[in-house]
Amino acid sequence: MIDRPERPTAEAILKDLGRGPRLTVYLASAPGAGKTRRLLEDALRLQEAGTRVVLGWVETKGRPELDELASRLPRVPPRVVEIGTTRFEDFDFAATLEFKPHVVILDELAHTNLEGGAHAKRWQDALALRDGGISVEGAFNIQHLESAAATAESLIGFPVREIVPLSFLRAADQVVALDVSPEQLEARLAAGALIHPEDVERARLGIFRPQTLRYLREMMLRTIDDLTEPNVMPRRASTLLALATGDGDVGVFLQKAASVAGALDLALDVALVGERRIDTVADLSKELDAHVVPLQEFDPNRPTLGALKATLVALPRGPLAARLAARALERDILIVDPTLTPPIDREISFSRYAQTAGDRLRIGYGRLTIYLGGAAGSGKTYAMLDRAHQLVAEGIDVIGGFVETHGRADTERLLKGLEILPRREVTCDGVRYSELDTEALLRRRPAIALIDELAHTNAPCDERPKRYDDVLTVLRSGISVMTTLNIQHLEGLNDAVNRLTGQKVRETVPDEILTLADDVILIDTTPETLRERLRAGKIYRAEKIEDALSHFFRAENLAALRELALREVLHARAGTRRPPPFALIALGVKARERDLELIERCARIALRLEVELLVFHVARSPEAAQSRVISSLEEATRRVRGKWHVVVGNDTALALVGAVQREGGVTIAVEGARHNPRWPRGVAFARRLLEAGARQLIILAAPP
């Protein structure tokens, strides 16, 4: 099987260029998330760009700001239906076809049409319009989706009568999450912006209960994640494939695989390779939110991993694991002991900000809100500024501490009406920098500060090297912060981003910054929309557009980054997490320069799993362990907060396993063979470790 993405069809190319009819659906967690406003603002942007757009149906519910937006757009006259002595209005499908717009805005897609309509449901109207060559932008709330309705009913406390089938979302060209914090929805409810004041208390006991809003929000994001399947090379898929071989306890094996998948933001797929307990595997997979998938082009007797759609392959210790460990590998693999249950109690903390997190509960830190996007141009700063205007209207003291518009007109317009703090100009070694003036911000002491680009590296002569250090300083003073971040800048995802895009991201922030956040809001934007914005010059300057389109901004890259962002938001909000599958990772390194990067990579894995990292080097004598390279490896281990060990022994595998077994609860990590060993000259080191008694292994595929 050729390891490359499928060639896009002519239809897909036209849609990517915005020249074919498309169905875009905005999915929200609850009423008040801003669906109608988003549809109207999108319509106005399209109209300004010369697109013929009409309002098919929108419900402004008498809100002045929505009425004003709607008044600037042409509208298809509604169809009037008389029921008894009462006249009702509804969307007119036939009139819209006659109007022949390029795009029609169609709100409340779950709506049941009145008698005499062309179709029974409004979502059917949307599909028929696209089939007729007209693009549609529409929206509905997650509780109306058939796969979510039953759960939503139990949460809300009343029946959900209007249902949209999941097949409709699968048929859409784009499904976009409208993510809003429960606190923002509660504030809008209290302000009377959503429903009649007399109904507010009843709503607080139903759909607007904080716990209900959190559950609906998670359901919405998980639905988007399930629909998102980036068309990437098999080795780039953000998936852990668990091969159930029938060796050991399949429950223990899948629990460990699920723990690793969750920590590394990987989807979990399960394939049967010799396992006969099909019903058991199906039940466990459902419980672990995994998918059972068929396995093709895989021979357990002569196993190769090149065709498997996964970045990490897990399997229980047994004959298949031994055969794979003996070979050069195209994927990272995880071999687990299916007889050892995962450890639960741990005595150490792995967060660099554990003290900070504790302090926040004691001394009243400000609140931290992070707007997280998949890539530049997704609209993070725009969303942050838009929220700032809402807060100012509520009488809250907000200041723009550092806002970077990148010259985007829409974003710059939102600066009007906000107080903006002057930047601090600093010169280092003759180079002039413009930075956040943290001290001036602390003196000004607003309720909320907007501090853009969290991953930014400050001027080299600054007291605080990174902007997130500034943000922590501001939070400690009791000032709340709203900030922005792209998913590729998370330190623990560095390997995943490099794998997906082929690019190494230099500016990173620790993953724990998301743990400190009071809320992480996803700014969801589809690859097609980002590429359209890039072509229109709304992201980079003209001279950078073509290079970006053919490299970082390739559709498959953007889709994969979007998937990472979705999972990271879900990961950040998880109230409880599965226990790690082991207590320690023991990395074996050789006396070579390239193992410095291996230490850093394994440290990121350990941090994500929240386990301790030990690094072992086996030398034939104490004198052999004294070298410049060994000193560099030891220093690198200390830099990533690992523990360095030198073991003396003639048999490297036996010495490493013997040293590790004394620690208990350890998984050994090693780099896999670059080439298949030629018999009888040698045996792959990973296989030798298994023969020496290693119970669990992480074999990291050697770089090309």
Task: Give the pLDDT confidence of 261-273 residue by residue, as tens digits.
Answer: 988 889 899 999 9
For residues 270-284, average pLDDT: 92
Of the residues 573, 595, 630, the one at which a domain ends: 573
Write the DSSP symbol of residue 701.
P
Would you say residue 170 lies in a domain? yes
Would you say residue 335 lies in a domain? no
Of the residues 573, 595, 614, the one at which a domain ends: 573
Q: Please give the pLDDT value at position 2.
A: 37
The model's pLDDT over 22-45, given as tens digits with 9 standing for 90+, comes to 999 999 999 889 999 999 999 999
Contact 328, 702 (CB under 8 A): yes
Q: H-helix or E-strand containing 81?
A: strand 79-83
| Residue 694 falls in which region: left (phi positive, over 0), alpha (psi -120 to 50) or beta | beta
Beta-carbon count within 10 A of 124 CB? 18
Would you say residue 259 lies in a domain? no
Residue 349: closest CA among 341, 360, 338, 357: 357
CATH number for the domain spanning 478: value is 3.40.50.300
- 550 plus 569 within the same structural domain: yes
- 669 plus 613 within the same structural domain: yes
| Residue 39 falls in which region: left (phi positive, over 0), alpha (psi -120 to 50) or beta | alpha
Q: Residue 592 — pLDDT band, cuts 50, 70, 90? A: very high
Q: Please give the pLDDT value at position 211.
A: 87
Would you say residue 232 lies in a domain? no
Residues 6 or more apart whose Cβ sits within 8 Å of residue 362: none
Whether residue 622 is predicted with pLDDT greater than 90 in this model: the reply is no
For residues 80-108, average pLDDT: 94
- 693 plus 565 within the same structural domain: no
The model's pLDDT over 12-25, given as tens digits with 9 standing for 90+, comes to 545 555 568 999 99
The model's pLDDT over 313-340, given as tens digits with 9 standing for 90+, comes to 999 999 999 999 998 888 899 999 998 7
Beta-carbon count within 10 A of 579 CB? 17
Residues 6 or more apart whose Cβ sits within 8 Å of residue 487: 372, 373, 374, 375, 493, 497, 561, 564, 565, 568
Best-predicted range by mean pLDDT (62-66, 511-515, 596-600):
596-600
Q: Could you give the CA distance from residue 560 to residue 232 in angstroms, rounded to a whole number? A: 8
For residues 591-613, average pLDDT: 92
CATH number for the domain spanning 601: value is 3.40.50.620
Span of 204-213, 343-352, 518-527, 590-599 with lowest mean pLDDT: 343-352
Strand partners of residue 492: none
Q: Residue 426 — pLDDT band, cuts 50, 70, 90? A: very high
Q: Residue 206 — pLDDT band, cuts 50, 70, 90? A: confident
Best-predicted range by mean pLDDT (433-442, 564-573, 622-631):
433-442
Burial category of 49 from C-beta neighbours within 10 Å (exposed 0-12, middle 13-18, buried 19 and up): exposed
For residues 614-627, average pLDDT: 90
Span of 149-158, 224-233, 256-265, 598-607 with lowest mean pLDDT: 224-233
Q: Could you give the CA distance from residue 338 to residue 316 in angstroms, rounded to a whole number? A: 6
Going by their DSSP bridges, the two strands 174-178 and 23-28 should be labelled as parallel
Q: Please give the pLDDT value at position 574.
A: 65
Would you say residue 277 lies in a domain? no
Q: Residue 5 — pLDDT band, cuts 50, 70, 90? A: very low
Q: Please give the pLDDT value at position 72.
A: 96
Q: Residue 362 — pLDDT band, cuts 50, 70, 90? A: low
Q: Please give the pLDDT value at position 342.
A: 64
- 444 plus 534 within the same structural domain: yes
For residues 386-405, average pLDDT: 94
Long-range contacts made by residues 326-329, C-beta under 8 angstroms, separation at least 24? 326/677, 326/683, 326/684, 326/686, 326/687, 327/303, 327/673, 327/676, 327/684, 328/672, 328/673, 328/674, 328/675, 328/676, 328/684, 328/702, 329/305, 329/672, 329/673, 329/699, 329/701, 329/702
Contact 427, 478 (CB under 8 A): no
- What tokens does 203 get? 């709503």
- 517 plus 590 within the same structural domain: no
Whether residue 347 is predicted with pLDDT greater than 50 in this model: the reply is no
Q: Based on the structure, what is the number of domains in the chain?
A: 3
- What tokens does 584 get? 């320690």
Whether residue 534 is predicted with pLDDT greater than 60 in this model: the reply is yes
CA triple 409-413-414, angle to 5 deg? 125
Q: State the residue for tokens 């599965």.
A: 578
| Residue 583 falls in which region: left (phi positive, over 0), alpha (psi -120 to 50) or beta | alpha
Span of 52-61, 139-148, 153-162 with lowest mean pLDDT: 153-162
Would you say residue 274 lies in a domain? no
Q: Average pLDDT of the chain?
A: 88
Cα-only R_g, the chain: 28
- 595 plus 680 within the same structural domain: yes
Q: Provide the 3-class DSSP secondary structure of residue 221.
A: helix
* % the chain with pLDDT above 90: 60
Of the residues 573, 604, 619, the one at which a domain ends: 573
Would you say residue 579 lies in a domain? no
663 vs 587 pLDDT, higher one:
587
Q: Please give the pLDDT value at position 596.
A: 94
- 524 plus 647 within the same structural domain: no
Would you say residue 270 lies in a domain? no
Burial category of 383 from C-beta neighbours within 10 Å (exposed 0-12, middle 13-18, buried 19 and up): buried
- 530 plus 386 within the same structural domain: yes
166 vs 498 pLDDT, higher one:
166
Q: State the residue for tokens 């419900």.
A: 59
Q: What is the largest CA-CA distance in the chain?
A: 99
Q: Could you give the CA distance from residue 275 to residue 242 in angstroms, rounded to a whole number? A: 12
- 563 plus 609 within the same structural domain: no
Transcribe 146-196 into DSSP letters: HHHHHHHHHHHSS-----B-HHHHHH-SEEEEE---HHHHHHHHHTTSSS-
For residues 533-557, average pLDDT: 87
- 476 plus 622 within the same structural domain: no
Q: Please give the pLDDT value at position 363.
A: 65
For residues 366-370, average pLDDT: 94
Q: Could you give the CA distance from residue 379 to residue 410 in angstroms, rounded to a whole number? A: 10
- 537 plus 669 within the same structural domain: no
Give the domain extent around 649: 584-700
Q: Could you give the CA distance from residue 335 to residue 600 in angstroms, rounded to a whole number? A: 21
Q: Please give the pLDDT value at position 9.
A: 54
- 33 plus 117 within the same structural domain: yes
Contact 557, 500 (CB under 8 A): yes
